[in-house]
Amino acid sequence: MERLIKIGAEANIYLSTWHGLKVIKKVRRTKPYWREELDLKIRRSRTIRETYYINLVKKFGILTPVIYFSDPFKGEIVMEYIKGERVKDVVEKDITKSYDLFYDIGRKLAIMHAHNIIHGDPTTSNFITKEDKLYIIDFGLTFYSQRIEDKAVDLHLLKQVIKSAHPKYFEETFRKVIDGYSNVYPLANKILENVKEIERRGRYATF
């Protein structure tokens, strides 16, 4: 028994069963706009990355789904079903609660960055909260880097998403992210400087 619950940007998400467990099956679709070679290459490498980094970051105390099975050639991952709420939805419903979540998001990103792991896609739909705990998902674009610039790009992405998707709460929520981030990561100031630099490089930026 399998049910399609979400058509994501690159994968279809199914609610499925695995040896009696209720699980999520993430299947990366063939993209009609990618050439065949590119399509195979990208889907395979992102499946491998995701499996690898979801497991790796657990060692730093970051909550991610448990991986049960991964097939890079089919672009499939079977993982734990986290029955929670996306931070994207929490913001619009309960802003006080989401302040704590954003603080935690900042902390968790900092922990990853301190270990030179760049999430690559920190949008508010990739953070899930369940029983007041924060889970991070979608590690398909995650990579290893020591560069300040790459860490800054990661933060810039999150900033951009909050600003565009939750403009009403942008100031407060992003400040929480920075608070959490600076709290655990000594290099925070340097990276935040670099975020500003990235913004200055943007098209038609005025500063």
Partner 1 sequence: MNENRLLCLGIESTAHTFSVAILSENKILSNEKEVYVPPPGEGIHPYEAAQHHLKKAKKVLQDALIKSKISIKDVNVIAFSAGPGLGPCLRVGAVVARTLANYYNKPLTAVNHAIGHIELANFFAKAKDPVVVLVSGGHTLVSTYLFKKWRIFGETLDITLGQLFDQLGRELGFNSPAGKYIEELAIKGKKYLEMPYSVKGNNVSFSGLLTYAKNLIKKGYSKEDVCYSVQETAFAMLTEVTERLLAFSEKKEIILTGGVAANLRLQEMIRSLCKVHNTKFYVIPKEFSGDCGAQIALVGLLQYKTNNLVDIKDSVIRQSWRIDEVDVTWRD
Active site residue 100: no
From 24-32, 77-85, 96-104, 184-192, span contacting partner 1 (CB under 8 A): 24-32
Least CB distance from residue 125 to partner 1, whole Å?
6
Burial of 43 (0-12, 13-18, 19+ CB in 10 A): buried
Could you say whether residue 161 binds partner 1 (CB under 8 A)?
yes
Identity of the residue, 123 or 129, whose beta carbon is nearer to partner 1 in the bound complex: 123
Identity of the residue, 112 or 141, whose beta carbon is nearer to partner 1 in the bound complex: 141
Could you say whether residue 167 binds partner 1 (CB under 8 A)?
yes
- Bridge partners of 117, per DSSP, are 144
Could you say whether residue 93 binds partner 1 (CB under 8 A)?
no
Identity of the residue, 104 or 121, whose beta carbon is nearer to partner 1 in the bound complex: 121
The tokens of 67 are what?
A: 């991986």
- Give residue 85's identity as a one-letter amino acid code: E
Count residues contacting partner 1 (CB under 8 A)? 37
With left for phi above 0 and alpha for psi between -120 and 50, is residue 8 left, alpha or beta?
Answer: beta
Could you say whether residue 32 binds partner 1 (CB under 8 A)?
yes
| Distant-in-sequence, close-in-space partners of 141: CB < 8 Å, separation ≥ 6 | 46, 49, 119, 120, 121
Among 62, 109, 111, 157, binds partner 1 (CB under 8 A): 157
Is the Cβ–Cβ distance between 161 and 119 less than 8 Å? Answer: no
Least CB distance from residue 32 to partner 1, whole Å?
4
Identity of the residue, 78 or 157, whose beta carbon is nearer to partner 1 in the bound complex: 157
CA 47 to chain centre: 14
Spell out a b/e string for 128-140, using b for 16 or more CB atoms within 10 Å of the CB, else e.
bbeeeebbbbbbb
What residues are annotated to the active site? Answer: 121
Q: Where do contacts with partner 1 occur on this chain (CB under 8 A)?
A: 7-10, 29, 31-35, 37-38, 42, 88, 120-123, 125, 141, 153-154, 157, 160-161, 163-165, 167-168, 198, 201-206
